[in-house]
Amino acid sequence: MKHIYKLAFIFLLAQPIMAQTPIIFQPGPGLNNGTDEGGANGGKDVFIGDADNITHGTESAFVTSPVSNCNNTTWISLLKFDVSSLPSVVDSVVMVLHHTNPSAYCYSNCIADFYFGIVTQPWDETTVSYSNPPTISSTPFYSLLNHNWDDSLKVKEYNITQVYRDWRDGTVPNHGFEIYSTTVGCNNACVYVCGYSSDDTTNGGAYRPYLKVYTATSGIHTPNAELLGVQCYPNPANDMFTLEFTISEMQKIIVELTDVTGRVVSTSEYAMTAGTNKIPIAIKAVDAGLYYYHLKTNSGEVSGKLIKQ
């Protein structure tokens, strides 16, 4: 069940948004001797579990499972990006993970909730274990709810803008993050969140985790020559706001709303006709604060900010 909407208030645009190129930061495998901290040449990631209680810091993948109450098959993953050399002022930051394909079948614990939590103490990718994991924050900064065993995440982008800023300015010490599940059951060919790690060599290492960093001048927005004259009003808004825009052909439009951590608040789909369209969106149930909307068409996406009063 998704409890978040991607919402961004769209500024009044007089012309199409220009293409923007992010900074790509993709750590390599490093030495795997305890010195790696997630820098460009020192990727830091590991998965640990109660099956063997040892660190898997040199594997080409990361693995996270639900919590098993019938056998020793519980796994969690730890990853870190050293962002100290990256821009301190950004528009947005997206983490890209190449997930591996799901299992061919599942018998139990086939649906689970997964989360990204901030790690709050140092850890060593050569010695960390399931029986002695680092502590994490009590509140996750990203939620992947109700992930089904046969869902293929493939290449997935996660908006981690706020935690990046906190790491970069020192508000939160950067010890990386943990991928974990709070779902408890009997793991029997269960659901997993898996992907390629910084040690992977597939396709020359192209599948390793990486960040897409959009600076304050480049923005998160992608080109969309067919989406013109976008307006968001009123802004700030109370119970409802409207997105108004012009498209050149009939198509389906998706509007997503996210909070500042990238958590999805809502997703809605609309059938739009060619010409000028208006979409009223109710936000009465949304808490006051800053949100981002993402207006997606066949040819791209436009994003912006919205303030809910």
Q: Which residue, of 165, 200, 215, is where some domain finishes? A: 215
Residue 48's CATH number: 2.60.120
Per-residue pLDDT band for 95 (boundaries 50, 70, 90) equals very high
Looking at per-residue pLDDT, the higher value among 181 and 229 belongs to 181
User: For residue 18, what pLDDT is reported?
Assistant: 38
Q: What is the DSSP string of 195-240?
A: EE-TT--GGGGTTS-EEEEEETTT-S----TT-EEEEEESSSBSSE
Please give the helix or strand (H or E) that residue 169 lies within, else none.
helix 161-169
Are residues 121 and 201 located together in one domain of the fold?
Answer: yes
Closest by Cα among 178, 181, 176, 116 to 146? 181
Mean pLDDT, residues 176-183 taken together: 97
Per-residue pLDDT band for 8 (boundaries 50, 70, 90) equals very low
Are residues 12 and 43 located together in one domain of the fold?
Answer: no
Are residues 255 and 136 located together in one domain of the fold?
Answer: no
Mean pLDDT, residues 225-253 taken together: 80
Q: Give CA angle at 62 (56, 68), nearest 5°.
A: 85
Highest mean pLDDT among 167-181, 206-220, 241-255: 167-181
Residue with tokens 């750590």: 27
> Are 24 and 96 in contact, with CB atoms under 8 Å apart?
no
Domain presence at residue 2: no
User: For residue 33, what pLDDT is reported?
Assistant: 94
User: For residue 272, what pLDDT is reported?
Assistant: 84
pLDDT in tens, 31-63: 999 999 999 999 999 999 999 999 999 999 999
Are residues 249 and 170 located together in one domain of the fold?
Answer: no
User: For residue 145, what pLDDT is reported?
Assistant: 79
User: For residue 166, what pLDDT is reported?
Assistant: 94
Domain presence at residue 129: yes
Is 65's pLDDT higher than 60? yes
Which range marks the domain in which residue 126 is found?
23-215
Looking at per-residue pLDDT, the higher value among 1 and 161 belongs to 161
DSSP lists the bridge partners of residue 55 as 48
Residue with tokens 């997206």: 94
pLDDT in tens, 120-149: 999 999 999 999 999 999 889 888 878 899
First to last CA, the chain: 25
The 177-181 sheet, strands edge to edge: 55-56, 44-49, 75-80, 177-181, 111-118, 142-148
> Are 65 and 77 in contact, with CB atoms under 8 Å apart?
no
